[in-house]
Structure 1
């Protein structure tokens, strides 16, 4: 019996080459977050303002042979539009990643709160059980009250003259009579 030639089903295929560039989404996301974080700072606004002022000043004051963008500043408008067209998606990507992190954090907080509530309810039940159990246990105050009652019951027997064989004068007379 001849064995069949061709691809085997138990061996994975080698990765195919594609025309699309390969990239790591996490690395790209981290880079976009750094860019978005920088675009949202005062430092970026100051540098952008300085660049625009220098650009416009150069193209207004410089001699005609050295100007690269005449008065309507079409090249400056194109550069700012290009910067905005890249900044907006990068900012949105950074916001989406932050939303994902916030969602995960909220889910973890919710689970932690559920555990805390369950622990609190358990402890409340345990405290209630201990209080019910303490109702059957002799407390210090109860023992003191019982001892006080016993002392009251024993007091009439300790009065002078009441006890058998004792006289109010004391036991000294009895010794003399002997």
Structure 2
């Protein structure tokens, strides 16, 4: 079996010259914490340090520290007043030195989130703009197409005009039927008048014939009488 050093060396042995060499993990990289978990922890601490509860508990702690090292006997004081509370000063300085990086780290993470949100908002705004432009073009094309399509008002106007034409045609037919009846009466009257005139024309001829026939009968009758009378006269 090969030793771990040999396996490590073989793992990171230089490859072909046309390929980049792999980076070896250093000692500090092995103990590098997870940025996400560490960032969440620092954000939680920074948020808690920015709350009124932290200020209240910090005030209570400092008040107890000062009162104990001031009013308590000197034998039990751990930060005497004669040394100007050196330990408390060091503790507050250490707290401030850690609080500043924690706040900066939390602010950096918040800036990263804001950057991501701003990028998403920008992309969403571009998408909304593209959708709006697309809808605008579609609406414009629909308006252009609707100009060639019969609308409801247009159909109503056409039906109304057709109805008016039908009504006018019916009125004209009624007027034509009303004027045709007198014409028919006048034609029948003309025909009846002509028949009467023809009858009248025929009637004088018949009267002449009757007169003629009566005259001949009368002429023949006197002759007969004359003959009879002449015959009787000789007698």
Q: Same fold (TM over 0.5)?
A: yes
Computing the radius of gyration from Cα coordinates, the structure with the larger value is: 2
Partner of 1:174: none
* CA pair 46-145 structure 1, distance change in 2 beyond 3 A: same
Partner of 1:161: 174
- Partner SS for 2:27: coil
Gaps of 5+ in 2: 1-5, 16-20, 182-235
Partner of 1:62: 72
- Structure 1 runs (4+) deviating above 6 angstroms are 165-168
**CA-CA distance at 1:17 after TM superposition:** 6.4
Partner of 2:52: 42
Q: CA RMSD in A?
A: 2.7
More moved, 80-89 vs 149-158: 149-158
Q: How does 1:1-178 map to 2 (within 5 A)?
A: 7=10, 8-9=13-14, 18=27, 21-71=31-81, 72-159=84-171, 161-164=174-177
Gaps of 5+ in 1: 169-178
What is the alpha-carbon distance in structure 2 between the residues aligned to residue 16 and residue 151 of structure 1?
A: 93
Q: Which has the higher helix share?
A: 2
What is the alpha-carbon distance in structure 1 between the residues aligned to residue 178 and residue 28 of structure 2?
A: 123
After TM superposition, the score normalised by the length of structure 2 is 0.62
Q: How many residues align?
A: 163
What is the alpha-carbon distance in structure 2 between the residues aligned to residue 135 and residue 125 of structure 1?
A: 16
CA contact (8 A) 1:157 1:163 kept: no
